[in-house]
């Protein structure tokens, strides 16, 4: 279930209460008269079954609560209540299959931003991948996959394409277009320092073939990217978020970027080109699969106007 809090003007409070009390998927309705200070108004809270959230939020937005007040949603990990059980039973469908579209827009919108934190994580991930390559360490390479933050913008592009939110597509594409070259440049500098100080041997890196899969583009490169993109979007649109970790360690986006940086320092331009190609194939494959998964999921209960501008906070 999700916990819903609505800050609403006093003249629409009764209608908000009516929406929540009449909907079978909502329960634990609480009213705090005059509790909101900025914007001023009343606070109404309720617990809502996940599969009913889109319909409830759409009704509240239809009353203008999102414009004159605000609606927030929080995940409830545990709810010990017969009323909550009844609300979940009464709501149509299964909670794990329900897509809360406003939640998805908010989440992907936040994760698609080009900022210092995103650049730092991506640079660290590429550096870890480079260390894994030069030390022949699979564990380090897997660690780089987990640290990499690139799935957020990739998911945002998919959401933007399906919902025709071109502002989201542009924002996420900018994060990737700037993030990967910047992270690879940082990795080139680090690899250059490592080569100059003798931290790794050029011939040893060239001769080892354990990581050929990182830069060798083939049919399975696209297959794995498609499967990972599908699994990732299913995870983001359902209650199965733990599956995202498996997505992170199944694709070779960050390893390919790290390997490309090392190959550039070593003057191995063929491997550099192959690694870059591997990176592009993975990025495109993830977006295509994620978009297809999102497109086929039911949107009949999508909440509100998905054309609302994303928060820039």
pLDDT (tens, 9 = 90+) of the chain, 313 residues, equals 899 999 999 999 999 999 999 999 999 999 999 999 999 999 999 999 888 888 899 899 999 999 999 999 988 878 888 888 888 888 766 655 567 777 787 778 777 889 999 999 999 999 999 999 999 888 999 999 989 899 889 999 999 999 888 999 999 999 999 999 999 999 999 999 998 888 888 888 888 878 888 888 889 889 999 998 998 888 887 765 555 555 666 678 999 999 999 999 999 999 999 999 999 999 999 999 999 988 887 554 444 444 444 443 3
Distance of alpha carbon 237 from alpha carbon 302, whole angstroms: 12
Distance of alpha carbon 279 from alpha carbon 35, whole angstroms: 51
The pLDDT of residue 303 = 41
The pLDDT of residue 312 = 39
CA proximity to 68, closest of 11, 106, 113: 11
Distance of alpha carbon 114 from alpha carbon 153, whole angstroms: 9
Domain boundaries defined on the chain: 2-98, 105-296
Distance of alpha carbon 221 from alpha carbon 192, whole angstroms: 28
Continuous segment of H or E residues that includes residue 282: helix 269-296
SS3 100: coil
Model confidence pTM above 0.85: no
Find all residues with CB under 8 Å of 289, minimum gap 6, and list them: 225, 226, 227, 228, 229, 230, 233
Distance of alpha carbon 65 from alpha carbon 87, whole angstroms: 23
In the CATH hierarchy, which fold is given to the domain comprising 2-98? Alpha-Beta Plaits (3.30.70)
Q: In what order do the strands lie in the sheet with 40-48?
A: 26-37, 40-48, 2-8, 70-75
């Amino acid at each position: 279930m999700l916990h819903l809090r609505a800050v609403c003007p006093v003249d629409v409070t009764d209608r908000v209460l009516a929406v929540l009390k009449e909907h079978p998927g909502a329960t634990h309705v609480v009213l705090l008269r005059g509790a909101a200070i900025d914007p001023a108004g009343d606070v109404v809270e309720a617990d809502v079954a996940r599969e009913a959230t889109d319909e409830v939020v759409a009704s509240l937005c239809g009353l203008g609560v999102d414009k004159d007040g605000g609606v927030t949603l929080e995940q409830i990990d545990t709810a010990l209540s017969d009323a909550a059980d009844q609300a979940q039973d009464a709501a149509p469908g299964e909670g794990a299959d329900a897509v809360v579209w406003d939640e998805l827009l908010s989440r992907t919108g936040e994760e698609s931003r080009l900022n210092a934190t995103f650049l730092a994580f991506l640079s660290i991930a590429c550096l870890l991948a480079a260390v894994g390559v030069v030390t022949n360490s699979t564990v380090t390479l897997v660690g780089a996959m987990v640290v990499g933050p690139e799935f957020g913008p990739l998911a945002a592009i998919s959401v933007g394409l399906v919902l025709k939110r071109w502002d989201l597509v542009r924002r996420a594409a900018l994060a990737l277009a700037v993030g990967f070259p910047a992270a690879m440049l940082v990795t080139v500098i680090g690899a250059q320092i490592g080569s100059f100080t003798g931290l790794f041997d050029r011939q040893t890196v060239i001769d080892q073939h354990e990581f050929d899969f990182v830069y060798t583009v083939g049919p399975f490169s696209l297959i794995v990217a498609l499967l990972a993109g599908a699994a990732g979007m299913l995870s983001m649109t359902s209650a199965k978020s733990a599956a995202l970790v498996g997505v992170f360690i199944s694709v070779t986006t960050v390893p390919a970027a790290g390997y490309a940086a090392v190959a550039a320092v070593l003057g191995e331009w063929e491997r550099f080109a192959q690694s870059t190609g591997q990176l592009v194939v993975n990025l495109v494959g993830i977006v295509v699969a994620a978009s297809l998964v999102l497109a086929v999921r039911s949107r009949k209960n999508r909440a509100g106007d998905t054309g609302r501008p994303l928060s820039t906070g």
